[in-house]
Amino acid sequence: MTTDMTHTAVEVIRRCVLWGVYYFDEIVEEVETAVYPNEIDRDWVVSRVEEELQNKESEEATWPERTDCDRLHDVFESFWEEGIIALEAPGNTQDEGLEDVSYFYHEAGGEQSGIVGYCYYVANDIPLVLAEGILRLTYGDIRGDDAKGVEIGRRVRTALQAAGFTVEWDESIQTRLAILGFRWQMRRWSR
């Protein structure tokens, strides 16, 4: 394995562990995608992932009891009770997020489910949070009605503000909601 491959692998591992949205096997897969699988020692990757997860576990012990990510998770949980599909990092792109929204909507029974809208952020939104403290959320009406989508946006904003978040939004369906001053401290989902 070349020095460049090692550097790339380490960077991918650190990013995936820091983001906290990848399971162990997914981190290994991300590394193998970034570096040719037949040119990287899988045992080395597994060992390095375990090491980075241990480092993160130590770091998490210094975090406050309730992080911004924990509070956001609680708000997202409440959305489900209100008929709003709320997903945390359902893929890397907006399209992948919408695919997951569609999946959950149909799994819940479609029109009979009582689901009226959706809200999510994707993995590609995380770098902006880390760099600038801004988490952008996608929202909308489950059937694509713009006026009803704006109403979903208002409900999302109100719930986030009630949870203590500062939210910027111009009430346009074309604009994503932005949580300002967001500190990304995502606890690991799984070893």
Q: How confident is the model at residue 191 (pLDDT cuts 50, 70, 90)?
A: very low
Threshold 0.75, pTM exceeds = yes
Q: pLDDT digits over 78-89, tens only? A: 999 999 999 999
Residue 159: per-residue pLDDT: 98
Q: Which residue has the tokens 């939210």?
A: 167
> 27 φ, ψ to 5°?
-65, -45
Phi-psi region of 20 (alpha: psi -120 to 50; beta: other; left: phi over 0): left
CB 178 within 8 A of CB 169: yes
Residue 172: per-residue pLDDT: 98
Strand partners, 166: 180
pLDDT of residue 2 exceeding 90, the answer is no
Q: Which two tokens stand for residue 53?
A: 């997860």
Residue 1: per-residue pLDDT: 55
CB 88 within 8 A of CB 73: yes
**DSSP H or E segment with residue 119:** strand 117-121
Q: pLDDT digits over 6-64, tens only? A: 888 999 999 999 998 888 999 999 998 888 766 788 899 999 999 999 999 999 999 99
Q: How confident is the model at residue 3 (pLDDT cuts 50, 70, 90)?
A: confident
Instruction: Kindly list the domain boundaries of the chain, sorted by start residue.
Output: 3-60, 68-180
